[in-house]
Structure 1
Amino acid sequence: MPGTVRPITDERDGLMAYLAQMRHVLRLTAWGLTDEQARATPSASSLSVGGIIKHVATAERIWNERVRDVPQTYRREDYAANFRLAHDETLQDALDLYDTVATETEAAIAEVEDLGQPVPVPRDSPWFPQDVEAWSVRWVLLHLIQETARHAGHADIVRESIDGATAFPLMAAAEGWPETPWMKPWSPPVEAERP
């Protein structure tokens, strides 16, 4: 996937394309990391790249369930655990979960005839307004784009703190872009030779 969203055909296509792009840039923050690095919390935050991916996948699944008006599989007591990649979980587990959830989102949105369809405002968290009864599916998609982009920014900072890798050089490496005078694809740092 290139560094920008492809041309879009309509509102639904645009929302889904931008969500896919934000997922892609979040996934790129994990490119080339080991499980140990994916669990690392090297910045001032307690967030890790693997934990961020797991959290965003879980949050997107919760919104899918709300759009479909099905019973929630999420338990509030799992909130903090969804920000961490546990020792018995791998980075690949988190990426696979994210792929599965993306497929679920595509299916859920394909079932919706009107993006104006109401989605009841949850009453289980203090950050949701008490004076709004429902949002639209359109709002949910915009919210998912916003949340994914926000957490992709967090993951960029964590990744840069791990090994200095930044977004566009990572994208260039992952997608095989040719080196230019102003853009060099990322490569792992070379360890100093031991005497």
Structure 2
Amino acid sequence: MTDSDPRDDLRRYLQIAREALVWKLDGLSEYDLRRPMTTTGTNLLGLVKHMIGVELGYFGDTFGRKFPEPLPWYDAMDDDPGIDFWASEDESRDDLVGLYRRVWAFADETIESTPLDAVGEVPWWPPERRRTTLHRVLVHVIAEINRHAGHADIVRELIDGAIGLRADASNLPDLGADTWAQYREKLERVARAAGPAQP
């Protein structure tokens, strides 16, 4: 087993999660990208828009760096705290994905130029935890983007049935629609046998 640089490992897992999230948008209409698929309105393009702000906050503000482009929705967050979880009619997939890729480059500059043990301050964290290291911020952001990539997995499956980890590897058994339907029916029978549904 070879030794690896922890920064390289963290960067690799961050990039895998970024690409998984953005890949979930492929092949969908502007409507489907914005469709609220849960009671709380979770939608694919909104998840990408949210991560733009997350990465800018953690890899920019936390370490005293300013992104050179304005984010117009930031000014409206006091009036609509969820504005970063949905895209307006004027914010296209290409606009937001392009912006997110520029944010990746900005964040990667912070990651490359800052020691892992460098201390930054996360202004929205509780005062006793605000001062933290780049290493901890990287772990936090990787966890957050993977959480949202998981949301995107489910939302995409609800929209058109598309599943998988990435375009070249689904990370799921290749069962076919009929077998998946039988599998789902089996799980439904098991759930009903375990106890009644919640009223």
Describe the SS at the equivalent of 2:132.
strand
Does residue 163 of structure 1 match 2:160? yes
Q: TM-score, normalised by structure 1?
A: 0.76
Q: Which runs of 5+ in 2 are unaligned?
A: 177-199
Greater Rg over alpha carbons, structure? 2
Measured on the aligned residues, the alpha-carbon RMSD in Å equals 2.6
The within-5 A match list for 1:16-165 is 16-70=11-65, 74-75=74-75, 76-77=77-78, 79-112=81-114, 114-122=115-123, 125=124, 128-165=125-162
Tell me which amino acid in the other structure corresponds to 2:42: L
Contact 1:120 / 1:133 at 8 angstroms: preserved in 2? yes
Describe the SS at the equivalent of 1:103.
helix
Q: TM-score, normalised by structure 2?
A: 0.74
Tell me which amino acid in the other structure corresponds to 1:92: D
Describe the SS at the equivalent of 1:56.
helix
Q: What is the percent sequence identity of the aligned residues?
A: 30
Q: Which whole-Å CA distance do the structure 2 matches of 1:68 and 1:130 have between them?
A: 16
Q: Which whole-Å CA distance do the structure 2 matches of 1:151 and 1:167 have between them?
A: 15
Contact 1:39 / 1:49 at 8 angstroms: preserved in 2? yes
Q: Which residue of 2 aligns with 1:193?
A: none
Tell me which amino acid in the other structure corresponds to 1:18: Y
Q: Which whole-Å CA distance do the structure 2 matches of 1:47 and 1:107 have between them?
A: 30
Contact 2:63 / 2:121 at 8 angstroms: preserved in 1? no
Query: What is the CA-CA distance between 1:163 and the residue it aligns to?
Result: 0.9
Tell me which amino acid in the other structure corresponds to 1:89: E
Contact 2:25 / 2:44 at 8 angstroms: preserved in 1? yes
Structure number with higher helix proportion: 2
Describe the SS at the equivalent of 2:22.
helix
Q: Which runs of 5+ in 1 are unaligned?
A: 1-6, 186-195
Describe the SS at the equivalent of 1:47.
coil
